[in-house]
Amino acid sequence: MELVALPRNFFDRAPALVARDLLGKLLVRRLEGKTLVGRIVETEGYLATGDEASHSHKGKNTRNASMFKDAGHAYVHTLRQYVLLDVVTEGKDTPSAVLIRAVEPVRGITGVADGPGKVGRAMDITRALDGIDMTDPDEDLFIADDKKQLARKVCVSSRIGISKAKDLPLRFYYE
């Protein structure tokens, strides 16, 4: 299996488009000589402006600084004991992102990581990966296209697990 990182222009688009198109793509984690691969099956977009649920809504701080990087960078943050992974979308200083909410096992991982905290756990995502450039082929975390992906129906819904801006249709998942 050839695993090539998606280019920056894939991520340099509106978060809703990136969130939708990330379904079926492969999340790749290189770790201690091994390669973990999961197929992305659920995502959520977070907007740069007018989105109270986005971590960037109140401006830049040390916690969310990675959201202000250029498209294709990782925004890794913790929620209680869990580590969550976002990919930054749109250009620099346009702080939007897509949360990877679930992956299916492809290689090296077992079970279904059917929640953002479980994705972080299954693929050993750590804070050290916060801010890395996921379009850089030398990095230990990136997203690759899957040439053999099957056509599956994409569903859209409002986001879950948040208390503000609940009504935006920014959650994408396979039927």
Tell me which stretch binds DNA (CB under 7 A): 31-39, 111-119, 132-140, 144-152. Answer: 111-119
Contact pick of 117, 129, 132, 170 for DNA (by CB under 7 A) = 117
Q: How many CB atoms lie within 10 A of CB 9?
A: 10
Quote the tokens at residue 147. Answer: 């040439």
Q: Which stretch binds DNA (CB under 7 A): 17-25, 29-37, 131-139, 153-161?
A: 153-161
Q: Decide: is 18 part of the binding site for DNA (CB under 7 A).
A: no
DSSP state, residue 56: T
Q: Cα dihedral sign for 42, 126, 149, 14?
A: positive
CA atoms within 13 A on the CB side of 19: 28
Residue 116 engages DNA in binding (rule: CB under 7 A) = yes
Nearer to DNA, 21 or 51 (CB): 51
Structure tokens at 140: 């230990």
Element (H, E) at 16: helix 15-22
161 contacts DNA (rule: CB under 7 A)? yes
Part in contact with DNA (CB under 7 A); list of ranges 33-41, 112-120, 128-136, 142-150 = 112-120
Contact present, 53 and 34 (Cβ < 8 Å) = no
Of 82, 107, 146, 174, the one binding DNA by CB under 7 A: 82
Residues 20-39 that bind DNA (CB under 7 A): none
